[in-house]
Amino acid sequence: MASRQEEKERRRRERLEAEQAAAKTASRKRTLQLAGGAALAVIVIAVIAVVALAGGGGSDKVDTSNLAKTATAAGCTFKSYPAEGRTHTTGKVKYKTNPPTSGNHNPTPAQDGIYAPGNEPQPENYVHSLEHGRVEFEYKPGTPQSQIAQLQKIALEPFKGSAGYHVLMFQNNTKMPSQFALAAWTKLLTCKALTSKSMDVMRQFRKAYTDKGPEFIP
């Protein structure tokens, strides 16, 4: 009798041990699945971040097919250029467009804002800002203060919920031939004068190319 009881107890212990082992295995699988899921989520978030940073800003599309024609009608000129490079350098760079629209640049970008004449950033710094999707408003040295004020008013108009959003405005320091210029990455709008039509084209340019550089930096 005692022998049968011991056998039953032995089998019960083996069954319990087997069930506990199965439960531990299932628990490990769940932990691995959760960890794998978390890792996958981190990877997905990282990929999204990289795409956002590397691919320019936003998915909002603006029709620019008629921008060149509209610019011409307003006494302005709109041009699109091939990218000249994106390498960081601490030296001087000779750019192919005037004012510059792309190319190798200083590691430190120029900050957003309105710059007083004589305090404008260097081309190598503001080209880096263009890479980050900024739009730059430039005016020729000697421009009357009243016209500078008009241009500044346009530059500071609210966009994406913020006044002066991702804009730099400064006196040109590259001896550009035009009186006024708006630059974005590989894009350039130049105007001879400030008129209602040319200012409207400037607004269109800003709307079309803000946050459209190869790197999106908030």
Residue 24 has what pLDDT? 60
> For 115-134, what is each residue's pLDDT tens digit?
999 999 999 999 999 999 99
- Smallest CA-to-CA distance from 200 within 157, 166, 142, 140 is with 157
d(CA 165, CA 191): 22
> For 172-190, what is each residue's pLDDT tens digit?
999 999 999 999 999 999 9
Residue 211 has what pLDDT? 98
Helix 145-155 to helix 196-209 angle (10° resolution) is 40
Q: pTM higher than 0.75 for the full model?
A: no
d(CA 73, CA 86): 33
Confidence of residue 40 (pLDDT cuts 50, 70, 90): very low
Residue 196 CB-density burial (10 A; 0-12 exposed, 13-18 middle, 19+ buried) = exposed
CB 137 within 8 A of CB 169: yes
Percent of the chain with pLDDT over 90: 70
From start to end of 81-175, where are the E strands? 113-114, 135-139, 158-159, 162-163, 167-171
> For 76-94, what is each residue's pLDDT tens digit?
999 999 999 999 999 999 9
